[in-house]
Amino acid sequence: MSKIESIRTLRVVRLVLDCEKYMREALELAREAAAQGEVPVGCVVFDESGAVIGRGRNRREELADAGAHAELEAIREACSVRGSWNLSGCGLAVTLEPCPMCAGAVINARLSTVIYGAKEPRSGSVGSVINLFEENYGHRPAVYGGVLSEDCARLLAEFFRGIR
Amino acid sequence: MSKIESIRTLRVVRLVLDCEKYMREALELAREAAAQGEVPVGCVVFDESGAVIGRGRNRREELADAGAHAELEAIREACSVRGSWNLSGCGLAVTLEPCPMCAGAVINARLSTVIYGAKEPRSGSVGSVINLFEENYGHRPAVYGGVLSEDCARLLAEFFRGIR
């Protein structure tokens, strides 16, 4: 392996490890949602230094609010921490492919990176129903999908088996 | 004019008047936003009886929150009033064509009707950039666009002229 190839490989390994680290934090929040009887989806927002600055979990039933998705909650907290609606340079990791509302919030907040776990065939808007980030909104975050997707999907499957 | 034609005409007149009534309330909220130095966008949610059960205005700068759009605020209030994330049967009137986040929130809240004023060429997601309601999300509200659009657009133009 050449030196350049080695550096590239190391960068990819680092990226995969980082993605999985954030996804594990998001999974922890998804488990908290499940414990509260909510569809288990969790999300974290991290800044350029790698610090987690926003956390969210689905609270749709608890708050009786159609907008109470994990991503919006994590984005709101991150905006509050930074004192700005502009999260350029930051990234988001969420256990389930974002719906159009949350993918739209990523665009509005100018988040630079989106990491997601399981696919959502009915409302996923980062490739499943449509890919909002390929439309002409003038903002195209880097996307890493399928991160720890089996863990994310298993949590959802167990939750839905439990309530049936 | 036949009797059936008369009834149809009356229904259309009633619909136009209703759309304009809600839009005037949304315009009032947009003016409040402008007075606070925010991009003037206002929104109301109304229920089956015609009562306004949610009001919102853009607060992105005040709250430093990328998600603080008029529609999300009005939807959150309406959900709170009804005690449910499901606003099926209700409608929303907003002075500016919804962005993907807010159009996505309309889908998540199962709102039956969307009335909007001015077109938004850069982020509008009810026909401008894309039309989210024509995608396969399994929810297609009735849409009435261009209602009092000149008033809505003038308010925005005046605001942007003022801050330049």
* pLDDT at res. A63: 93
Mean residue pLDDT across chain A: 95
How many of the other CB atoms lie within 10 Å of CB of A82? 17
Alpha-carbon gap: A85 to the closest alpha carbon of chain B (Å): 4
How many of the other CB atoms lie within 10 Å of CB of B136? 12
Cα–Cα dist B86/B91, whole Å: 12
Alpha-carbon gap: B4 to the closest alpha carbon of chain A (Å): 40
Mean pLDDT (whole number) for B33-45: 97
Minimum-distance CB partner of A100 among B84, B122, B132 = B132
- A31: CB partners within 8 A, 6+ apart: A40, A42, A155
Tell whether A134 is within 8 A of chain B (Cβ).
no
Minimum-distance CB partner of B79 among A64, A87, A135 = A64
Mean pLDDT (whole number) for B114-134: 98
- Tens digit of pLDDT for each residue in A40-52? 999 999 999 999 9
* Bridge partners for B55 per DSSP: B44
Tell whether B79 is within 8 A of chain A (Cβ).
yes
- Tens digit of pLDDT for each residue in B53-73? 999 999 999 999 999 999 999
- A42: CB partners within 8 A, 6+ apart: A25, A26, A27, A28, A29, A30, A31, A32, A33, A55, A56, A57, A58, A70, A94, A95
- Tens digit of pLDDT for each residue in B5-32? 888 888 878 887 899 999 999 999 999 9
Read off the DSSP letter of residue B70.
H
CB atoms A104 and B107 under 8 Å: no
User: Residue B164 — very low, low, confident or very high, per pLDDT cuts 50/70/90?
Assistant: low
Alpha-carbon gap: B46 to the closest alpha carbon of chain A (Å): 16
* pLDDT at res. B140: 96
Burial class (CB in 10 A: 0-12, 13-18, 19+), A101: buried
* pLDDT at res. A9: 84
Place of tokens 């009786």: A64
Residue A24 has pLDDT above 90, yes or no: yes
* pLDDT at res. B17: 83
Residue A71 a catalytic site member? yes
* pLDDT at res. B4: 85
pLDDT > 70 fraction of chain B, expressed in percent and rounded:
99
Tally of CA atoms within 13 A in the half-sphere of B83 that contains its CB: 0
Whether residue A29 contacts residue A56, with contact meaning beta carbons closer than 8 Å, is answered with yes
* pLDDT at res. A11: 80
* pLDDT at res. B120: 97
Tell whether A79 is within 8 A of chain B (Cβ).
yes
Tell whether A127 is within 8 A of chain B (Cβ).
no
Closest CA to A111 of A90, A132, A97: A90
Mean pLDDT (whole number) for A141-151: 96
CB atoms A108 and B130 under 8 Å: no
Cα–Cα dist B132/A101, whole Å: 10
* pLDDT at res. B108: 97
Which parts of B36-94 fold into alpha helices (H)? 60-63, 70-82
- A94: CB partners within 8 A, 6+ apart: A26, A41, A42, A43, A70, A71, A74, A102, A114, A115, A116, A117
Residue A82 has pLDDT above 70, yes or no: yes
Strands B142-144 and B113-118, sheet pairing = parallel
Tokens of B79: 């959900």
User: Residue A164 — very low, low, confident or very high, per pLDDT cuts 50/70/90?
Assistant: low
Residue A163 has pLDDT above 80, yes or no: no
Question: Mutating which of B72, B85, B102 best tests the A interface, going by the most A Cβ atoms within 10 A?
Answer: B85
Active site residues of B: 71
Whether residue A117 contacts residue A23, with contact meaning beta carbons closer than 8 Å, is answered with yes
CB atoms B125 and A105 under 8 Å: no
Taking only Cα atoms into account, the Rg of chain B, rounded to an integer number of angstroms, comes to: 16
* pLDDT at res. B1: 73
Backbone angles phi, psi at B45, to 5 degrees: -115, 135
Give pTM, 2 decimals: 0.93
Cα–Cα dist A149/B52, whole Å: 42
